[in-house]
Structure 1
Amino acid sequence: MREQLPITIPDDARKRAMLSIQRYFEEQLDEKIGDLKALLVLDYVLAEVGPSIYNQAIADAKSFFDERAADLGALCHHDEFPFWKPSKRA
């Protein structure tokens, strides 16, 4: 089995997520939590739910590129030996 790569986010996003979690707890659950508790919640969510979100993002990207690749034949086709084809000149 392959080793799981940890889901990480940039430090700035981590700080904003921590603040968002603190605000959520305070406004929705009437509980004020500190930085450590918010970071523990964030780490849990990234570890537990992050892989599902990542896998869905990969599936969405694959689907997007598969659709574009299917169009390549029509988009990139050039008629062969065009010299002898009737011209559209009047």
Structure 2
Amino acid sequence: MSIQISEAVRKEAVTSVQRYFREYFPEPLGNLEADALLAFFLQEIGPVVYNHAVADVQERLQARVMEVDIEVHEAEFTYWRQHDSKRKKA
């Protein structure tokens, strides 16, 4: 699965990559070079980030599922306990 980004996001990312190179490297990158570098990162490193995010979501969902019984638990066989406690008060 390749990671796709919108044209607007791609343009902003290319601009960011170019700025990074301007500020931290002696040679600036042109649009084509920055776009190619971005494409490489999306294809090569993007899946690592994506898979890690999916694993994080799975972990959080599993934790929530484990709490469902606590959140929605209903006491069982309560009629007679309630009935008897009302009779004792009367």
- Taking structure 1 as the reference length, the TM-score comes to 0.85
What is the correspondence of 1:1-90 to structure 2 with a 5 Å cutoff? 5-86=1-82, 87=85
The CA RMSD over aligned residues, in Å, is 1.6
State how far apart, in whole Å, the 2-side matches of 1:82 and 1:70 are. Answer: 25
State how far apart, in whole Å, the 2-side matches of 1:67 and 1:33 are. Answer: 45
Runs of 4+ in structure 1 displaced over 3 angstroms? none
Q: Deviations over 1:50-90 (max 9, x none)?
A: 111011001000000000000011111011232222459x7
Structure 2 runs not aligned, ≥5 long: none
Structure 1 runs not aligned, ≥5 long: none
Please report how far the alpha carbon of residue 23 of structure 1 lies from its aligned counterpart in structure 2 after TM superposition.
Answer: 0.3
Normalized per residue, the structure richer in helix is 2
Q: Deviations over 1:24-73 (max 9, x none)?
A: 11110022221111100000000110111011001000000000000011
State how far apart, in whole Å, the 1-side matches of 2:63 and 2:76 are. Answer: 25
Identity %: 38
State how far apart, in whole Å, the 2-side matches of 1:82 and 1:11 are. Answer: 60
State how far apart, in whole Å, the 1-side matches of 2:49 and 2:3 are. Answer: 10
State how far apart, in whole Å, the 2-side matches of 1:11 and 1:83 are. Answer: 62
